[in-house]
Amino acid sequence: MLHLVSARKTYRTGELALNVLAGIDLDIHDGEMLAVTGPSGTGKSTLLNILGCLDLLTAGEYWVDDLSTAGLGARALANLRNQTFGFVFQFFGLITEYTAVENVMLPLVYRSLPLRLARQQAEAALARVGMDGSTEKYPYQLSGGQQQRVAVARAVVGAPRVILADEPTGSLDAVARREVLGLLDELHGNGHTIIIVTHSSEVSERCPRQLRLVDGHILEDSGHVPRAPR
């Protein structure tokens, strides 16, 4: 489903070049649940941003199904990102001026879905994560765990095939952490591909496949685990 070939990402500051991804080859299959681990500054979030089309490779190839991302313009990349990926971040990424339901509506609004239909689907997504009683609350009125539930609802509202989660439990207490991990397990069980960047062994050990990055290289890969028949 997701296919990286000799993927390199280099950031330049003046004459200084920092090779964050150093020629990665990686295949991620439809329906996998994968943890990306490794030391800080080793390229984990950069890899996630490349996979989600939030950033572009310096060299190499990235394919989503049979579509090469090379040469795609900004609008085409935005459409691919909106249709294929949902994002969950450590610090939630909610817009403070919007209510919970308005935050969840955003990916659908970007698709030019009529507002009434977008709201209906956003309310259904919030109900799915147990937040149907908080649709009109603002982020500051919600606990950290509740905000992350809203973020998960926003990630899944457009029925993306892939959920990309960057340290999704890093700022949560133990109870909220278990709740969010349970939601991700449920999404995986329903057929979503889940890719999680994490420093937590508790999180990584829940994932059937584990990938370890060190200095921009894949040091360990436990390998593709075929999904059991549903």
What are the residue ranges spanned by the domains of the chain? 30-56+78-221
Q: Beta partners for 16?
A: 13
Q: Tens of pLDDT along the chain (230 residues)?
A: 999 999 999 998 888 888 899 999 999 999 999 999 999 888 999 999 999 999 999 999 999 999 999 989 999 999 999 899 999 988 888 999 999 999 999 999 989 999 999 999 999 999 988 899 999 999 999 999 999 999 999 999 988 999 999 988 888 888 888 888 888 898 899 999 999 999 989 899 999 999 999 999 999 999 877 665 55
SS (H, E, C) the chain: CEEEEEEEEEEEECCEEEEEEEEEEEEECCCCEEEEECCCCCCHHHHHHHHCCCCCCCEEEEEECCEECCCCCHHHHHHHHHHHEEEEECCCCCCCCCCHHHHHHHHHHHCCCCHHHHHHHHHHHHHHCCCHHHCCCCHHHCCHHHHHHHHHHHHHCCCCCEEEEECCCCCCCHHHHHHHHHHHHHHHHCCCEEEEECCCHHHHCCCCEEEEEECCEEEEECCCCCCCCC
Contact 188, 33 (CB under 8 A): yes
The pTM assigned to this predicted structure is 0.90
Q: What's phi and psi for 5, nearest 5 deg?
A: -125, 120
CATH 3.40.50.300, applies to 30-56+78-221: yes
Q: In what order do the strands lie in the sheet with 59-64?
A: 16-28, 2-13, 59-64, 67-68
